[in-house]
């Protein structure tokens, strides 16, 4: 039998809060450990091992009722703390305290859902916010799954510059027509037949798996945040957030433009080399 | 096969309970609340759809086949268009606007790619059909990624469905084999937007299930009564 | 994939297809317990089964029987005869073979699911059960040493649409019988003839530890519905179970303590697991590290 996977000893972002509504269930994998992530009707988010203690059925197939997650197989219901509270085939009996789902720490910050081992405290991650300037208004762009190892992504992300928002605002879908020329290690030129825009980039790791990519271009500053979620040795989820110089009069188009650009990023990262 | 003469009045569907293509029609008939009768075809293990009697009805040897007052129409996507045009007085499911019809037809064609990949993989894995399974799964994953990316971008611009901010026959056509993808060995773990869309589908009024696509038990309470938005029972 | 070394699984009869699946002059390749086989019906009607190597070379010849609408073989030397289902002799019963459907699951999980009632309201909603009538009242389950089978009876459950021939919901009586580790039948209230039982069975062909082909069949009294209607109903039920069967971990059934938690309603399954442990069966079980 294979070694059971365990959660790494750090906070891992697994998706955006806005992508998990009340009563919704998701399945995420962190370093081969399968988790069920679900939001109860009070709004609280939970992360558990994706396995019902009864017959090993994936809890992610189940359903949310009130503030409980039920397994699809026999309808066993588990409260927010993982405790089984109801077994419908013997409806009048109280399940023993030992009958529990295996739970993990799960909090929301910066619009992301974060998971960590149970002994981690929320205050351990709240410090993350202080790393980022207060004036930055971060919004989710999208989550994506990339067929590339987390290590390769980490090594290559800094060398794939993102378009400055001033270009995106002007030419939302024609970035593909632009040539990207590297001038120095951190300075790139975005050019097409009509315009030449210089941009200077800075990339740093804020904490394991969480990176900040700054872009300064002709007086404007944009920030992209990448949260990496290692799924397994060949697959990684990337959650992108954006804080542009300003959100402009059409934030939706700007978000859409970056969501479309991120597919190019994915393609580049997935290129077999 | 209990065949009906071509002149029989009424709406009939030559149907197989496990067919996602037949389910597209069953779903739409439910959404439109149309009275109809199902004529079961022994697709497996009988391969009735490939036998002489059925081939007289549809030489392509495929189900579903719709019969409406004697008018015979095969092909799930064609049937969706016909039923919408004839019976949907709201024009919500297949609006008359030419651009929208063009977009919807794009997705009906895409639904066929999904059938050719995800459904093929399912027939191989579950019923032992012989085909190139690696190719089918590869195509299936490519299609699912396309669908997922599209749904992600639609959500950004405030659209929860494939073409509009309400479902159309484009969504019905793509839904079944995406929801059943895992039966063909194609995991839906990598397509969270598609999973959200599947969930949203199940909340539609008059939604019906098919084997492999369970209902949302979360919409009911422990007494088996449906809950409305505020969590109160109304039936 | 390699042939299992489990003697309990090897020295037993296993199903490899329906009688109708084997046509004269059309050899079929299949797998049993990790071993590749080829089966061919010859001009005289007999079926010959051989183990074959990965390169297709014919190896050992296997004994064959055609019974209960299906074809049976063995990779070893069974100590006992193939089980009996006497109701097959009743000529006024309608026999329906539903074909072999594959599940990415251990055949033992398939049998356990067949023995389970508590899942009816959630997996077979509005057919075999629905909320709030979820209670599984106490019943009897035992290993019958004389016949070496597991039996459960005095089971009663409210069902909306128990069989295709049922009109309206009512309490349905059940009996379960596990005739060998991968083969089981159930007896349930017959709507058309209340003094008889309708029979539904599963013969599971264990291809690999995590893959099986399941042949469901029915032996019922039903003058109203066609064979196709009945096949559709049974396939619907099985495909509803497939969602669960393909999403259970570990894949193999754990026979050791502490892996899974059970409740009173799981009596039949617990007797089944105890019986498998007594036999020393390994194929399709999860091994404790």
**A2 in any annotated domain:** no
When mean pLDDT is compared across A124-138, B130-144, B163-177, the lowest value belongs to A124-138
- Are B59 and B144 members of one domain? no
- Asked if the model's pLDDT at residue B235 lies above 60, the reply is no
Judge: A15–B152 Cβ closer than 8 Å, yes or no: no
The predicted pLDDT at position A174 comes to 63
Question: Which of A115, A131, A147 is the last residue before a domain boundary?
Answer: A131
Which of B186, B222, B224 to mutate against chain A (most A CBs within 10 Å)? Answer: B222
- Are B73 and B112 members of one domain? no
Judge: C122–A56 Cβ closer than 8 Å, yes or no: no
Give C237 or B223, the one with higher predicted confidence: C237
Listed by start position, the domains of chain C span 7-73, 86-282
Q: Is A122 left (phi over 0), alpha (psi -120 to 50) or beta?
A: alpha
- Are B81 and B105 members of one domain? no
pLDDT confidence tier of residue A2, bands split at 50, 70 and 90: low
Interface of chain A toward chain C, CB-CB under 8 angstroms: 1, 51, 53-58, 61, 72-75, 87-91, 93, 99
Judge: B2–C101 Cβ closer than 8 Å, yes or no: no
Contact C204, C110 (CB under 8 A): yes
Mean pLDDT over B203-212 rounds to 96
- Angle at C101 (CA atoms; ends C95, C107), nearest 5 degrees: 100
**B107 in any annotated domain:** yes
- Find the helix or strand (DSSP H, E) in which C32 lies: strand C28-32
- Find the helix or strand (DSSP H, E) in which B29 lies: helix B20-31
The pLDDT tens digits of the residues spanning B161-194 come to 999 999 999 999 999 999 999 999 999 999 999 9
Phi, psi of A87, deg, nearest 5: -125, 100
Judge: C239–B48 Cβ closer than 8 Å, yes or no: no
The predicted pLDDT at position B5 comes to 53
- Are A154 and A107 members of one domain? no
With a pLDDT cut of 90, the percent of chain C lying above it is 91
Instruction: Answer yes or no: same fold for C7-73 and C86-282.
Output: no
The pLDDT tens digits of the residues spanning C164-185 come to 888 878 889 999 999 999 999 9
Interface of chain A toward chain B, CB-CB under 8 angstroms: 15, 19, 23-24, 26-27, 29, 41, 61, 63-66, 70, 72, 75, 86, 88, 142-143, 145, 235, 252, 255-256, 259-260, 263
Q: Give the range of the structural domain holding residue A82, as residue numbers without chain letter.
A: 12-131
Note the CATH architecture for domain C7-73: Single Sheet (2.20)
The predicted pLDDT at position B233 comes to 45
| C-alpha distances out from residue B45 to A197, A204, C18, Å | 65, 60, 10
The predicted pLDDT at position A158 comes to 87
**B204 in any annotated domain:** no
The predicted pLDDT at position B234 comes to 42
Contact B186, B144 (CB under 8 A): yes
The predicted pLDDT at position B120 comes to 98
Q: Which chains touch C (3 or more CB pairs under 8 A)?
A: A, B
- Asked if the model's pLDDT at residue A144 lies above 70, the reply is yes
What is the topology classification, in CATH, of domain C86-282? Answer: Naphthalene 1,2-dioxygenase Alpha Subunit; Chain A, domain 1 (3.90.380)
Chain B: closest CA distance from residue C239 (Å): 5
Q: In this complex, how many residue pairs, one in chain A and one in chain C, have their CB atoms less than 8 Å apart?
A: 68
CATH number for the domain harbouring residue A108: 2.102.10.10
Number of domains in chain B: 2
- Cα-Cα-Cα-Cα dihedral sign, residues B212, B217, B222, B224: negative
Largest Cα–Cα distance in chain A? 75
Which of A55, A76, A78, A99 to mutate against chain C (most C CBs within 10 Å)? Answer: A55
SS (H, E, C) A69-130: EECCCCCCEECCCCEEEECCCCCCCCCCCCCECCEEEEEEECCEEEEECCCCCCHHHHHHHH
- Please report the residues numbered 147 through 206 in chain C whose beta carbons come closer than 8 angstroms to any beta carbon of chain A: none
Please report residues of A whose CB lies closer than 8 A to that of B149. Answer: 263
Mean pLDDT over A221-232 rounds to 96
- Are B71 and B104 members of one domain? no
Which of B144, B146, B160, B189 to mutate against chain A (most A CBs within 10 Å)? Answer: B189
For all residues of chain B together, what is the average pLDDT?
94
**pTM of the model as a whole:** 0.95
**A1 in any annotated domain:** no
The predicted pLDDT at position C99 comes to 97
Number of domains in chain A: 2
A154-158, A171-175, C208-212 — most confident range: C208-212
Mean pLDDT over B29-52 rounds to 97
CATH number for the domain harbouring residue A169: 3.30.530.20
- Asked if the model's pLDDT at residue A213 lies above 60, the reply is yes
The pLDDT tens digits of the residues spanning A79-91 come to 999 999 999 999 9
- Are A16 and A120 members of one domain? yes
User: What are the start-end ranges of the H helices in A162-236?
Assistant: 165-170
């Amino acid at each position: 039998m294979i070694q059971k996977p365990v959660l790494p000893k750090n906070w891992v972002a697994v998706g955006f809060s806005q992508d998990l509504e009340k009563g919704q269930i998701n399945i995420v994998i962190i370093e081969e450990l399968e988790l069920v992530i679900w939001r109860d009707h009070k709004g609280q988010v939970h992360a558990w091992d994706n396995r019902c203690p009864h017959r090993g059925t994936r809890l992610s197939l189940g359903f949310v009722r009130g503030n409980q997650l039920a397994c699809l197989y026999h309808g066993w219901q588990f409260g927010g703390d993982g405790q089984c509270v109801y077994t419908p085939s013997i409806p009048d009996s109280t399940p023993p305290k030992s009958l529990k789902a295996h739970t993990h720490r799960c909090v929301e910050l910066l619009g992301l859902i974060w998971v960590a081992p149970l002994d981690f405290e929320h205050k351990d991650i709240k410090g993350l916010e202080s790393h980022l300037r207060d004036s930055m208004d971060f919004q989710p762009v999208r989550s994506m799954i990339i067929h590339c190892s987390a290590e390769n992504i980490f090594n290559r992300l800094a060398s794939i510059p993102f378009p400055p928002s001033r270009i995106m605002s002007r030419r939302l879908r024609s970035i593909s027509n632009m040539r990207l020329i590297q001038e120095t290690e951190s300075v790139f030129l975005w050019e097409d037949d009509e315009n030449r825009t210089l941009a200077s980039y800075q990339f740093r790791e804020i904490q394991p798996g969480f990176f900040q990519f700054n872009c300064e271009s002709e007086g404007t500053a944009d920030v992209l945040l990448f949260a990496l979620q290692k799924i397994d040795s060949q697959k990684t989820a990337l959650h992108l957030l954006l804080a542009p110089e300003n959100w402009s009069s059409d934030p939706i188009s700007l978000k859409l433009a970056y969501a479309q650009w991120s597919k190019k990023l994915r393609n580049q990262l997935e290129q077999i080399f | 096969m209990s065949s009906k003469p071509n002149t029989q009045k009424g709406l009939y569907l030559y149907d197989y309970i496990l067919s996602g293509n037949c389910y597209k029609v069953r779903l739409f008939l439910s959404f439109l609340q149309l009275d109809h009768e199902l004529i079961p075809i022994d697709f497996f293990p009988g391969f009735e759809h490939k036998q002489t009697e059925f081939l007289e009805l549809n030489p392509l040897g495929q189900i579903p086949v719709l019969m409406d007052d004697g008018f015979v129409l095969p092909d799930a996507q064609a049937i969706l268009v016909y039923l919408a045009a004839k019976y949907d007085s709201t024009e919500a499911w297949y609006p008359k606007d030419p651009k929208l019809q063009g977009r919807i037809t794009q997705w009906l064609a895409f639904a066929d790619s999904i059938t050719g990949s995800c459904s093929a993989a399912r027939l191989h894995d579950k019923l032992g059909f012989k085909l190139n399974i690696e190719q089918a799964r590869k195509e299936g994953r490519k299609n699912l990624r396309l669908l997922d990316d599209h749904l992600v971008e639609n959500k950004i611009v405030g659209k929860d469905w494939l073409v509009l901010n309400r479902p159309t026959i484009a969504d019905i056509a793509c839904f079944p084999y995406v929801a059943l993808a895992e039966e063909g060995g194609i995991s839906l773990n990598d397509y969270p937007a598609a999973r959200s869309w599947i969930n949203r589908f199940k909340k539609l009024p008059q939604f019906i299930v098919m084997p492999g696509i369970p209902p949302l038990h979360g919409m009911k309470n422990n007494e088996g009564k449906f809950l409305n938005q505020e969590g109160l029972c109304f039936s | 994939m390699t042939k299992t070394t489990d003697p309990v699984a090897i020295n037993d009869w296993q199903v490899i297809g329906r009688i109708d699946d084997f046509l004269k002059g059309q050899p079929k390749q299949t797998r049993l317990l990790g071993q590749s086989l080829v089966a061919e019906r010859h001009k005289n009607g007999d079926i010959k089964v051989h183990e074959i190597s990965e390169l297709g070379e014919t190896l050992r010849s296997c004994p064959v029987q055609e019974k209960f609408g299906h074809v049976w073989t063995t990779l070893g030397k069974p100590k006992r005869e193939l089980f009996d289902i006497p109701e097959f002799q009743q000529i006024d019963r309608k026999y329906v073979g539903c074909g072999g459907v594959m599940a990415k699951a251990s055949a033992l999980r398939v049998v356990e699911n067949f023995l389970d009632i508590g899942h009816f309201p959630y997996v077979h909603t509005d057919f075999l059960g629905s909320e709030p009538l979820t209670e599984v009242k106490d019943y009897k389950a035992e290993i019958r040493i004389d016949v070496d089978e597991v039996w459960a009876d005095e089971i009663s459950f409210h069902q909306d649409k128990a069989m295709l021939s049922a009109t309206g919901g009512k309490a349905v009586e059940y009996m379960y019988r596990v005739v060998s580790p991968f083969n089981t039948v159930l007896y349930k209230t017959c709507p058309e003839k209340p003094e008889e039982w309708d029979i539904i069975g599963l013969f599971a062909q264990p291809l690999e530890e995590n893959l099986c082909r399941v042949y469901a069949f029915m032996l019922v009294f039903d003058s109203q519905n066609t064979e196709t209607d009945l096949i559709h109903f049974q396939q619907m039920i099985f495909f509803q179970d497939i969602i669960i069967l393909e999403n259970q971990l570990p894949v193999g059934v754990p026979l050791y303590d502490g892996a899974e938690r059970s409740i009173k309603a799981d009596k039949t399954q617990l007797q089944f697991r105890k019986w498998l442990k007594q036999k020393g069966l390994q194929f399709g079980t999860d091994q404790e590290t």
